[in-house]
Amino acid sequence: MNEIIYRTHNCGELCKKDIGKNVVLSGWIQKLRNLGSITFIDLRDYFGITQLILSKKLKKKNPELGKEFIIKISGIVGERVSKNYKIYTGEIEVFVSQLEILNYSTKPPFLIEDQTDGDEVSRMKYRYLDIRRNPIKNNLKLRHKISLEIRNFLSKNGFLEIETPILINHTPEGARSFVVPSRIHSRKFYSLPQSPQLFKQLLMIGGIDRYFQIVKCFRDEDARSDRQIEFTQIDCEMVFVNVNDILSFFENFIKHIFKEVKNIQLEPFKRISYSDAIKMYGTDTPDIQIDIKFLELKDFFFKRNSFFLKKKEFTMGVSIPNRSHYTCEKINFIIEQIKQKELEIETIFWLKYFPDKTFFSSMNSFMNNEEDLVKYFKANPGDLLFIFYGIKTEKKHKLNQLRLEIIHCLNLIEKRKKTLKPLWIIDFPLLEWNENIQKYKPFHHPFTNPKKEDVHFLEHFPENVRSQSYDLIINGVEIGGGSIRIHNKNIQNLILKHLGLSTKEIQSQFGFFINAFEYGVPPHGGIAFGLDRLISILEGKENIKEFIAFPKNNSGKDLMINAPYFLEKNKLKELNLLL
Ligand code: ASP
């Protein structure tokens, strides 16, 4: 047999101890530097880069050699004169004695190096070239490592990985579903799962104790840099658990992943109710790396009869640590910047609480409550307090914008990204009234269990009901969410009715699920984490596309295969889609 030997070593493994060895290497040409008498080549494969030296004669024999050509070489390992200690193979080079071109390449559209000149469009169009670059390749390796850790951890803890179907019917997760026409069943359609929600619940009804799946989900939404229409979830469900069981278990799970994969020891996860999060941060996805939160001051001023402040609907304050030394000019400059943002704030007052516990404030003339105020704020000497007067209650998101603006103006943004601050948001409302459709909509999804103490509101005041739900937020990014599920048939029916579904619609859309309630549904609950987002937060990056082998662009297109695409007429006919 005369089989080709492509390599004795890979391009990332030769070092000083291999000097003098005869080796065979195969790989792509990353760089060529022709110095006349010799030519240097950087040969790249999955494992690394090895420097080759070609004699003038050998180069002459292969004059066409260019970037991304694939070559196989034989040669002897020698010590490098000018060493590169940044790479493992940087102390050696290979003197090539034989060279064979295995394949040719045209000039690549962008630099296939760690620092590339390629823009996002060409990198997506030629994704296979982008994957040759270390940053993308390393992200895929990291993704593999995380997936492995997830599988190991969950398996060790009694979770069974079970696949659920992809061609299903629409299940309500709050987004639009992608549909797939059926050829055999004329005019009928499958939907792609927004998540395996009902299937994982049916697995619990089926007696499975703990389930997980690393699973593709599909949501027909506008894509963004942190959202893809096709994404991967770590989907989990457990039987006989309460909220605390789930939060504790998955806090350990997330901590384990961060520790194993990045050696990061996460601090204990804070828990904040949805309503507190809205009050303190104006959002249910707050980034708490910077400890700036609002304090409602209406009561404070009301009780003290402070004449005009008490009249306003909303008066909010924030206390900024260690900023009492700011000059009045600096404070006024910050106030001007904030005012330009049209956040519907009438006036901004401030108070400096100096380290020696004295005060200086912009509101001396009409208020003599400084001492009380700093107590109410629980402010520390050295803090700078702002009071925002005239924010309208219904504009909660403005509060979030205001908070971000303060963080920006005070240059606190630099402090972000250095620490990871995980946070559970709990007790979301069960339903919210949607003015446009004049119907209730679930805050999470319609299978979320109400909080026991609020169930009595369910029939007549459903908007007052909080749910047994939770989201995990890390540095302002929603990483996961879930709930304890309804296992009571009447509650499930009532919620579906609140969503505007008739008994007939409930039967036709969810009959299979509601019927299962006749056969003993165990109390159960679960959670799903976004794998793409989890990896990007682990790496401190915002663009999840960098961690997906073949991502879609921000308008949901795959630029490499040019999807989505038209269907030919005969195909449309076959699917009965042509009228
Ligand atoms: N199915 C939910 C989602 O995809 C997660 C859950 O409730 O477990 O957001």
Query: Three-state secondary structure along 536-558?
Result: HHHCCCCCHHHHCCCCCCCCCCE
481 ligand 1 Cβ < 6 A:
yes
Ligand 1 proximity of 173 Cβ (cutoff 6 Å): yes
Q: Report the alpha-carbon angle 422-216-513, nearest 5.
A: 95
Q: Is the CB of 195 under 6 A from ligand 1?
A: yes
* Nearest-CA residue for atom 8 of ligand 1: 527
Give residue 223's pLDDT: 67
Fold of domain 290-418: Gyrase A; domain 2 (3.30.1360)
Q: Whose CA is nearest to atom 4 of ligand 1?
A: 195
Q: What is the mean pLDDT of residues 384-394?
A: 76
What is the pLDDT averaged over residues 66-81? Answer: 97
Average pLDDT over residues 118-144: 97
Cβ of 197 closer than 6 Å to ligand 1, yes or no, is yes
User: Residue 182: CB partners within 8 Å, gap ≥ 6?
Assistant: 188, 189, 190, 575
Probe residue for ligand 1, chosen from 164, 445, 531 as the CB with the greatest number of ligand atoms within 8 Å:
445
The answer, yes or no, to whether any atom of ligand 1 lies below 6 A from the CB of 426, is no
- Ligand 1 centroid vs 195 CA: distance in angstroms? 7
Region 454-458: what's the mean pLDDT?
A: 96
533 pLDDT more than 90: yes
Whether the CB of 483 sits within 6 Å of ligand 1: yes
Give me the mean pLDDT over the 554-578 stretch. Answer: 93
pLDDT in tens, 337-356: 888 887 778 788 899 999 99
CA-based Rg of the chain, rounded to a whole angstrom? 31
Atom 7 of ligand 1, nearest CA residue:
482
pLDDT band at 77 (very low <50, low <70, confident <90, very high): very high
Query: Options 3.30.2130.10, 1.20.1260.10, 3.30.365.10, 2.40.50.140; which CATH number does 16-103 get?
Result: 2.40.50.140
**Coil, helix or strand for 372?**
helix
473 CA to centre of ligand 1 in angstroms? 14
| Residue carrying structure tokens 């559209």 | 109
Structure tokens, 270: 């804070």
Per-residue pLDDT, 173: 77
Q: Is the pLDDT of residue 393 over 70?
A: no
pLDDT at 371: 84
Q: Ligand 1: does its nearest atom lie under 6 Å from the Cβ of 99?
A: no
Q: Does an H or E element contain 130, and which?
A: helix 127-130
Domains of the chain, by residue range, sit at 16-103, 137-270+423-548, 290-418
Please report which confidence band the pLDDT of residue 414 belongs to, taking 50, 70 and 90 as the band edges: low
Q: How far is CA 529 from CA 162, 178, 544, 546, 570, in A?
A: 16, 21, 14, 18, 41
Find the mean pLDDT for residues 76-100. Answer: 97
Residue 30 is encoded by which pair of tokens?
A: 């990353």
What is the residue type of 348?
Answer: I
* Cα–Cα dist 301/538, whole Å: 44
Residue 391 has pLDDT above 70, yes or no: no
CATH code of domain 137-270+423-548: 3.30.930.10
pTM reported for the whole predicted model:
0.92
- β-pair type (270-273, 422-426): parallel
Q: Give the dihedral sign, CA 381/382/387/393.
A: negative
Cα separation, 279 vs 274, whole angstroms: 9
- Residue 39 β-bridge partners: 34, 54
According to the model, what pLDDT value does residue 344 have? 77
Q: What is the whole-number distance in angstroms between the Cα of residue 418 and the centre of ligand 1?
A: 29
Sign of CA dihedral 84, 85, 87, 91: positive
328 class by beta-carbon count within 10 Å (0-12 exposed, 13-18 middle, 19+ buried): exposed
Pick from 195, 203, 216, 447 the residue to mutate for probing ligand 1's pocket: most ligand atoms within 8 Å of its CB.
Answer: 195
pLDDT at 415: 56
User: Which ligand 1 atom sits closest to the C-alpha of 235?
Assistant: 8
Q: Is 528 in the pocket of ligand 1 (CB under 6 A)?
A: yes
Separation in Å, CA 45 to CA 7, 100, 201, 295, 304: 11, 16, 45, 57, 73
CA angle 387, 390, 392 (to 5 degrees): 120
What secondary structure, in 3-state letters, does 271-311 show? EEEHHHHHHHHCCCCCCCCCCCCCEECHHHHHHCCCCCHHH
What is the phi-psi region of residue 562: left when phi exceeds 0, alpha when psi lies from -120 to 50, beta otherwise? left
Check residue 537 and give its pLDDT.
94
Report which protein residue has its CA nearest ligand 1's atom 1.
Answer: 197
| Per-residue pLDDT reduced to its tens digit, 209-253 | 999 999 999 999 886 777 899 999 999 999 999 999 999 999 999
Q: What's residue 275's pLDDT? A: 95
**How far is Cα 282 from Cα 399, in angstroms, rounded to an integer?**
5
Confidence check: pLDDT of 304 > 90: no
Is residue 114 within 8 Å of residue 37, measured between CB atoms?
Answer: no
Residue 200 CA to ligand 1 center (angstroms) comes to 10
> Does the pLDDT value for residue 528 go beyond 80?
yes
Asked if 360 and 351 touch (Cβ cutoff 8 Å), the reply is: yes
Nearest to 37 by CA among 53, 52, 49: 53
The answer to whether residue 298 scores a pLDDT higher than 90 is: no
% of residues, the chain, pLDDT over 90 = 77
Least confident of 28-42, 96-110, 377-391, 477-491: 377-391
Q: How confident is the model at residue 417 (pLDDT cuts 50, 70, 90)?
A: low
